[in-house]
Structure 1
Amino acid sequence: MEMMSMLNALGSSWTFVFLSTTRCHWLQYAALCNQRWDPLRRAVVYLHHLVRVGGGSRYSSRRWSHSMGQYNMLHLCTGSDSALTRPLLGSLAKVVGLGLTELWNKEYYSWDINMADHIKVCISEHIKNLYSDGSVNSLGMLKNKWGEEPLVRRDLFGGIFEDSLGVDFQECIIIWHIGSAIFLAKSQQAKEEDTLLDVEAIKAISNYMMFLLVKQPDTLPGRSQNRLYELTCTKLVKTRRSTHRRQNMNLRATLKNLFSLHDDPDSNSRATDREELAKELYDEYEGKSFSYDAPRLPLVAELAKELLRMEKEGSMVNSVRLVLDVWRDILFYAASNCSRKFYAEKLSNGGELTTIVWLVAEHLYQLFVKSLIKRLKKDNDLA
């Protein structure tokens, strides 16, 4: 263990930074210019592929992976429920029970995506706008409630939009996750070429926040909403079963599905299933009041209806851009209100996206404070 610890230190990115900035030019020349450090680092990485460390988990880089975890409730609830097509490990988990079915679903129906450049740009732009518009307080946190700033800026805060933000933060994620899916499934504006990048960003951030809610709930502020999540999933499955038309699978596809460890979210059939379920939810709950077995779905349908109404009536507000801004605000709120202990633990293996958003926000906050102090000092000198 001591040997592995020493090799970790010698082959880490921190060592490279030290060697790059050291004033000992002979050491920098010997390690970097003569390319002696690179073979050492490659050997360390190779050893980590052979040796398990840290309680059975494989070594992961200290650099951020540039990926986003994804989890979609509609994707989960449109999965196969037939014993003939369900993966073997999923069937085994269902037989054994003891919570293994829930654990299997979390792993099987989650996936990772590489973070596209336009998503990075739209997140960083949102953070800069928050500071330039004065939407952040002296502690570097949002002055308003999560998701509220984009609505207030457009003079839309109130009514269904205010109710959709929920009493609790995780409740808001569930409502906007399903509401966004319904809106995008029925919106004509979302299918136009000039909005495709924004739609992709909405889906990525929405699925990422659900990924955190389901797989890492302790990383989110507020109370856990497991009960609301379970009730909603149960109702989604019932809605899907009542209208689902069984699709015939050939032998090759059936065998592939039986031995798979992750569902394929990018297949055309699965994307169609998600879109159909979204439309069915809208048709079933539009205009309905509170329901105990699905307490938030009528609210979800009302939210989607209002977004579609704004689009149909040619409102000055771009509905797709509004949804994207709300999700960016939700992401920023989660990052700025997350436990610092979690960030400290995550930094050892590169961190989550929320870790990166928090670091960027903290950096911009320091620049904002410095510019504010400089401006106040200048005003005092003039006075």
Structure 2
Amino acid sequence: MGELSGDIMWSVREVEFTHSVILWHVATEVVFHDDNHRYRALLDPYCRIIKALSDYMMYLFSLYPAMLPAGIGHIRLRDTCPEAMNFTLNNVQFKEAVRGLFGVDIRSRSFLIQMGSSRKSAFFEGCGIANHLQSLVSMFQWDNQDKWKLIADMWLDMLTYAAAQCSWKKHARRLQYGDEFLTHVALLMAHLGLSKKIQMVPLPKVLEEVDFEPNLHWDKLDPFLLGLNYI
């Protein structure tokens, strides 16, 4: 698994968070459409849920970046989008473009990545991750679900990290316009003791003296009320 770490783990350990989101969104999109083309009848709902999670993180990044850790992601997104569109929409069907990405030899792919990185595009880097993900099936004799479990683990790590890093003030600000899935995740993490941002403290004396009884008992919350039914 050392090769796995070297070829993929850099994308979450050595780059800023928003860069990781773009890289893995590109990789997930490419792998999903490639698998859909090759194994259409075998692509189970699990893969579609993971793709939906990828889409959700990009939705947050595009429309509500303040809820995610800060970075220069908006610059990367600005450069990545036109590069992806130019590659896939230049009179080429998307599925053909996806298959073409895996037909690019290593030397050419390295050149394309360098060309993309002269700006801040993450498109070809993401395609490189997708290519490696597809190679894992034969490299480690995985089945397709093992590969998608790895992709799911990556997205769940990024989702929970984002939920933990987002301040409660930002969560509350979004509630003015409707609840956000990221907020449900943050509340669930707090309920399970996975968040350091909530600490249980005793009631102030003034409330104890009047026998104050809170309406909401934290230890009796139903996880499904916190949004687990969305998953």
- The TM-score normalised by the length of structure 2 is 0.69
1:296 and 2:122 correspond: yes
How much has 1:284 moved relative to structure 2? 4.8
Instruction: Label 1:213 to 1:172 Cα distance change in 2 as closer, same or farther (>3 A).
Output: same
Cα separation, 2, equivalents of 1:216 and 1:284: 35
Q: CA RMSD in A?
A: 3.1
1:364 and 2:161 correspond: no
Instruction: Label 1:311 to 1:239 Cα distance change in 2 as closer, same or farther (>3 A).
Output: same
Partner residue in 2 for 1:23: none
Structure with the bigger RCO (C-alpha within 8 Å, sep 6+) is: 1
Greater share of helix: 2
Instruction: Label 1:354 to 1:297 Cα distance change in 2 as closer, same or farther (>3 A).
Output: same
1:186 and 2:186 correspond: no
Partner residue in 2 for 1:167: 15
Greater shift, 340-349 or 186-195, is seen at 186-195
Partner residue in 1 for 2:228: none
Partner residue in 1 for 2:5: 158
Partner amino acid, structure 2, of 1:310 = L
Partner residue in 1 for 2:85: 237
Q: Unmatched 5+ residue regions in structure 1?
A: 1-153, 245-272, 371-383
- The TM-score normalised by the length of structure 1 is 0.43
Cα separation, 2, equivalents of 1:206 and 1:301: 15
Partner amino acid, structure 2, of 1:158 = S
Identify the match of residue 308 of structure 1 among 134, 139, 142: 134
Partner residue in 2 for 1:279: 99
User: Are the equivalent residues in 2 in contact too, given 1:206–1:327 (CA < 8 A)?
Assistant: yes
Instruction: Label 1:282 to 1:366 Cα distance change in 2 as closer, same or farther (>3 A).
Output: closer
Cα separation, 2, equivalents of 1:164 and 1:322: 13
Q: How many residues align?
A: 188
Instruction: Label 1:278 to 1:361 Cα distance change in 2 as closer, same or farther (>3 A).
Output: same
How much has 1:356 moved relative to structure 2? 0.4
User: Are the equivalent residues in 2 in contact too, given 1:160–1:302 (CA < 8 A)?
Assistant: no
Which structure has the greater CA radius of gyration?
1
User: Are the equivalent residues in 2 in contact too, given 1:285–1:297 (CA < 8 A)?
Assistant: no
How much has 1:191 moved relative to structure 2? 3.3
Instruction: Label 1:344 to 1:188 Cα distance change in 2 as closer, same or farther (>3 A).
Output: closer
- Deviation track 1:288-332 (CA, whole Å, cap 9, x = no partner) reads 222225743332222112211111345347101111121111111
How much has 1:338 moved relative to structure 2? 0.7
How much has 1:163 moved relative to structure 2? 2.0
How much has 1:279 moved relative to structure 2? 3.3
Partner residue in 1 for 2:63: 215
Partner residue in 2 for 1:376: none
Identity of matched residues, %: 24
- Deviation track 1:148-171 (CA, whole Å, cap 9, x = no partner) reads xxxxxx777621212222511000
1:323 and 2:162 correspond: no
1:203 and 2:44 correspond: no
